[in-house]
Amino acid sequence: MLIEILQQTINGLAIGGVYVLIALGLTTVFGILGIAHFAHGSVSMFGGYLTFFLVTSQGLPVLVAIPIALVVGFLLGLLIEIIAYRPVRDANHINAFIVALGLTMMVEGINLQMFGHEQVVIPTGLSRVFRLGGVTVPELRIYVIIAAIVLVAAMMLFVERTKTGQAIRAVAENRDAAILMGVNVKSIPLIVFGISTSLGVAAGIMVGALFAIAPGIGEGFVVKGFAVLILGGLGSFPGAILGGTVLGITESIAAGFISSAYKDVIAFVVMILVLLIRPQGLLGRSP
């Protein structure tokens, strides 16, 4: 029993890391631009497929394919901001959301067109499995957890310590004041979208390597990402990290002990309960 719980916790940490990465992108976009970037999940899925394509069809090593996918993700983020979101910046927020829905459909369609309908697993060649007192830990999971921690730490350092990060926080805090202080507010959304999309792509690659990616999986991603935001509190980095980890572990334990078919239902029910009982999230400030 205890070993089973430990086992599921470790499984949950890996998937939790993926959720944290997705949620960090979403929370940055939402916190700074007020956009519910619904297409985020589909773009993550696209990144996973792109990596698979680079590795299998182009014969690139995984460690080369991943940086390429991350850069493509960054550029895609810029493109999305300029083409889709910038025109509806000053319109009703519902419009931005509907644009996001449209973008989701487009990315899904382009993905189908480019990579087909098949479910794919990114081959990493990492198949060693460690055993620690009855708990089995595949090598890959450890790397995923480490990579997630490194990316999250890098993102935190970027936002907290760099000049650009400072500008981003300033815009989030008070856009008008930031303009008066000479912050170039036009470039901020671009940077935010680029970085967020890269993080999303990283998450998509992790899912593709750990489990599998299939068309339509992006919807699940983005809803999980928002579930993390809701759990942790909107716009809060520590909240996203805590929320993602909690959701990943809860889901794993639920899958192990209750039902793996209904694990997503359980995750969504947790999200809805949190919304009802503590709408500001676990670490959010009360409104």
Partner 1 sequence: MNRTLTFLAWLAAFATLAMLPQLITVKYYLHLSILALIWVIMAQGQNLIQGYTGYVSIVGAGFMGIGAYSSTLLGLHLHLPTWVTIAMAPMVTALFALATGYPSLRIKGHYFAIVTLAFNLIIVIVLVNYKELTNGETGISNIPKLWGGSRDAYFYLVLLLAAFLTLLAALIARSRVGEILLAIRQNEDLVGSIGIAAWKYKLFAFVVSAMYAGLAGALYAHFQGFINPEIFGVAQSLDAILAVILGGSGTIAGPVIGAFLVVFLPELLRFADSFRLILYGLILVLATIFMPIGIVGVCKALICRLSGKGLRHGA
In the complex, the residues that contact partner 1 under the rule CB under 8 A are: 30, 36, 38, 84, 87-88, 91, 93-95, 97-99, 101-110, 112-113, 216, 219-220, 223, 226-227, 230, 261-262, 264-265, 268, 271-272, 275-276, 279
Residue closer to partner 1 by CB (options 10, 103) is 103
Residue closer to partner 1 by CB (options 84, 241) is 84
Residue whose structure tokens are 């708990």: 135
Q: What is the nearest approach in angstroms of partner 1 to the Cβ of residue 121? A: 21
Q: What is the nearest approach in angstroms of partner 1 to the Cβ of residue 234? A: 9
Residue closer to partner 1 by CB (options 61, 102) is 102
- Cβ atoms of 239 and 40 within 8 Å: the answer is no
Q: What is the nearest approach in angstroms of partner 1 to the Cβ of residue 251? A: 13
Residue closer to partner 1 by CB (options 144, 255) is 255
- Cβ atoms of 113 and 215 within 8 Å: the answer is no
Residue 26: closest CA among 34, 114, 276 = 34
Q: What is the nearest approach in angstroms of partner 1 to the Cβ of residue 267? A: 9
- Cβ atoms of 168 and 159 within 8 Å: the answer is yes
CA 67 from centroid of its chain's CA atoms: 17
Residue type, 52: F
Residue closer to partner 1 by CB (options 227, 254) is 227
Sign of CA dihedral 141, 147, 150, 153: negative
Residue 19 CA to residue 40 CA, distance in Å, equals 12
Give one DSSP letter per residue of 44-79, joined into a string: HHHHHHHHHHHHHTS---HHHHHHHHHHHHHHHHHH
Residue closer to partner 1 by CB (options 52, 226) is 226
Residue 32 CA to residue 166 CA, distance in Å, equals 12
Residue 43 CA to residue 213 CA, distance in Å, equals 12
Q: What is the nearest approach in angstroms of partner 1 to the Cβ of residue 50? A: 16
3-class DSSP assignment, residue 134? coil
Angle between helices 217-232 and 237-257 (to 10 degrees): 120
Q: What is the nearest approach in angstroms of partner 1 to the Cβ of residue 36? A: 4
Residue 204 CA to residue 18 CA, distance in Å, equals 8
Residue closer to partner 1 by CB (options 158, 268) is 268
What is the torsion angle, in degrees rounded to the nearest 10, for the CA atoms of residue 155, residue 157, residue 162 and residue 166? 70
Q: What is the nearest approach in angstroms of partner 1 to the Cβ of residue 258? A: 12
Residue closer to partner 1 by CB (options 36, 241) is 36
Q: What is the nearest approach in angstroms of partner 1 to the Cβ of residue 262? A: 7
